[in-house]
């Protein structure tokens, strides 16, 4: 019924500890390649800013600031926030505004700057996305939420920690080949398995990074796509799900109910099955989260995700390549930018523009983004289709 929407262009800043730049400058860095492609400000109707946690910088009402700095002063804008799933929540809102006819061309910009405060303060700010009355005051932070899931998974399925480490090894293997990555270095299985504990059973290499960075994509209504590109990536399916606020209320800790709900909705809208997906960008905020994602997305049966890892099916030349850009673990996880960065990576892979042949996935017809907020309270899943 509604008109179709395509991603026609993307941009990405260097991820890292970016004390050389402000939030607005990171956004400009992500927009610049888009501008250089000829998508100048006058061609953009409106923007959505994906910015999760303004407390990191103290700046409120960021969408006006960013729009102003990018020369988009007179274009309608708004900010969306859904914790770590902010990027795809912004895309969901933008999709609606375009498909419904409100706008034809939108710039969706994701950004976060997390390193202007200490890691401890950053961890505390993120913990405030837990329940401020019933979780945060008792000291639970995000490594702890996911450590609970990991403990339960390990106990239910008798999982050796090395399987989680193998996921981190893969992330770093690909991050090392991604010039935008925050921590572009290989790690060995031994290093990953024996690293310093953060929250048992999770160690340093099971945890994603506290990163500064920005990413951007341009969404366009179908009638206008040809003005922008002959290599569009169509939004084929969108699914959103939600889970109980407090982890204690969940029926299970080895799966995220909202992720299964979102996957079902996205596959249904796309008319596709897990088998049809050629690559996925999943939300590996912790190694256990990636393992659980394989199962929630239907790439493996419950408890069998480890087979994907052990058989290296998740590598760029495997059955279901996952996070061949380094993922949140090695590329980095600037909250508001993450979901947009995932989308950007699928666009690049579809276009055959991965930075090196050694991380280029072949013939991507359908790519999937899995973006999770908090410990699963928000989940957005997008399925994209190559349009060329």
Among 26, 34, 39, 97, binds a copy of itself (CB under 8 A): 97
**Considering just the CA atoms, what is the radius of gyration of the chain in Å?**
19
Nearest CA-CA partner of 140 in 371, 336, 375: 375
Sites for a copy of itself among residues 112-171 (CB under 8 A): 125-126, 128-129, 131-133
Output the smallest distance, CB 103 to a copy of itself, in A: 9
What separation, in Å, do the N-terminal and C-terminal C-alpha atoms of the chain show?
23
Q: What is the DSSP string of 83-128?
A: TBTHHHHHHHHHHHHHHTTS-SEEEEEEEE--TTS-HHHHHHHHHT
Asked whether 339 and 90 are in contact (CB, 8 A), the reply is yes
Look-up of token digits 């700095």: 69
Active site residue 77: no
Residue 161, by phi and psi: left (phi above 0), alpha (psi -120 to 50) or beta? alpha
Residue from 110, 213, 373, 387 binding a copy of itself (CB under 8 A): 373
- The SS3 call for residue 367 is strand
Contact yes or no for 5/219 (Cβ under 8 A): yes
**Rule CB under 8 A: is residue 76 a binding residue for a copy of itself?**
yes
Query: Using the rule CB under 8 A, is 358 a contact of a copy of itself?
Result: no
Indicate which single residue of 20, 40, 60, 319 sits in contact with a copy of itself (rule: CB under 8 A). 60
> Closest distance between a copy of itself and the C-beta of residue 16, in Å?
21
Q: Which is nearer to a copy of itself, 57 or 151 (CB)?
A: 57
Find the binder of a copy of itself among 53, 279, 292, 368 (CB under 8 A).
53
Catalytic residue among 172, 316, 333, 370: 333
Q: Does 199 bind a copy of itself (CB under 8 A)?
A: no
Q: Let me know if 207 is a catalytic residue.
A: no
Q: Kindly tell me which of 55 and 151 has the beta carbon lying closer to a copy of itself.
A: 55
Binding string to a copy of itself for residues 225 to 264, with x set by CB under 8 A, is what? -------------x-xxxxxxx--x-------xx--xx--
Q: Answer for the pair 198, 207: CB distance below 8 angstroms, yes or no.
A: yes
Q: Applying CB under 8 A, does 91 fall inside the site for a copy of itself?
A: no
Catalytic residue among 84, 199, 285, 324: 84
Token pair, residue 215, equals 């990413």
- Residues binding a copy of itself: what is the number (CB under 8 A)? 68
Closest approach of a copy of itself to the CB of residue 185, in Å: 31
Indicate whether 78 belongs to the interface with a copy of itself (CB under 8 A).
yes
Looking at 17, 32, 43, 55, which residue binds a copy of itself (CB under 8 A)?
A: 55
Nearest-angstrom CA–CA distance, 190 and 187: 8
State the Cα torsion 250-254-257-263 to the nearest 10°.
Answer: 170
**Is the CB of 133 or the CB of 273 nearer to a copy of itself?**
133
Centroid of chain to Cα 299: 18
Secondary structure (DSSP) of 157-197: HT--HHHHHHHHHHHHHHHTT-TT-SS-----HHHHHTSPE
Residues serving a catalytic function are: 84, 333
Q: Which residues bind a copy of itself (CB under 8 A)?
A: 1-3, 22, 46, 52-55, 57-61, 63-65, 67-69, 72-83, 89, 92-93, 95-102, 125-126, 128-129, 131-133, 238, 240-246, 249, 257-258, 261-262, 373-374, 377-378, 380
């Amino acid at each position: 019924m509604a008109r179709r929407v395509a991603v026609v262009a993307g941009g990405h800043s260097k991820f890292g500890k970016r004390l050389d730049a402000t939030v607005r400058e990171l956004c400009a860095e992500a927009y610049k390649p888009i501008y250089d492609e000829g998508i100048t400000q006058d061609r953009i109707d409106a923007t959505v800013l994906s910015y999760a946690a303004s407390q990191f910088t103290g700046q409120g009402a960021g969408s006006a600031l960013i729009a102003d700095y990018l020369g988009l002063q007179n274009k309608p804008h708004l900010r969306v926030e859904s914790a770590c799933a902010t990027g795809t929540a912004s895309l969901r809102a933008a999709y609606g505004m375009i498909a419904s006819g409100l706008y034809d061309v939108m710039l969706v910009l994701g950004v976060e700057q997390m390193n202007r405060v200490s890691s401890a303060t950053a961890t505390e700010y993120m913990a405030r996305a837990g329940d401020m009355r019933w979780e945060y005051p008792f000291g639970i932070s995000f490594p702890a939420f996911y450590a609970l899931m990991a403990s339960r998974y390990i106990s239910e399925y008798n999982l050796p920690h090395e399987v989680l480490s193998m996921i981190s090894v893969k992330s770093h293997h690909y991050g090392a080949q991604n010039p935008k990555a925050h921590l572009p270095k290989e790690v060995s299985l031994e290093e990953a398995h024996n690293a310093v504990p953060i929250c048992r059973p999770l160690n340093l290499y099971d945890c994603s990074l506290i990163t500064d960075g920005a990413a951007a994509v341009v969404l366009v209504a179908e009638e206008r796509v040809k003005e922008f590109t002959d290599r569009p990536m169509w939004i084929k399916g969108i699914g959103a799900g939600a889970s109980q606020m407090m982890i204690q209320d969940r029926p299970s800790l080895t799966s995220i109910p909202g992720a299964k709900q979102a996957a079902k909705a996205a596959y249904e809208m796309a008319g596709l099955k897990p088998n049809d997906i050629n690559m996925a960008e999943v939300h590996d905020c912790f190694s256990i989260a990636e393992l659980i994602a394989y199962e929630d997305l239907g790439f493996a049966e419950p408890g069998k995700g480890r087979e994907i890892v052990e058989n290296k099916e998740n590598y760029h030349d495997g059955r279901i390549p996952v996070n061949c850009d380094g993922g949140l673990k090695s590329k980095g996880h600037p909250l508001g930018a993450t979901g947009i960065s995932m989308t950007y990576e699928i666009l690049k892979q579809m276009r055959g523009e991965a930075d090196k042949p050694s991380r280029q996935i072949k013939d991507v017809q359908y790519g999937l983004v899995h973006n999770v907020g908090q410990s699963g309270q928000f989940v957005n899943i997008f399925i994209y289709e190559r349009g060329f």
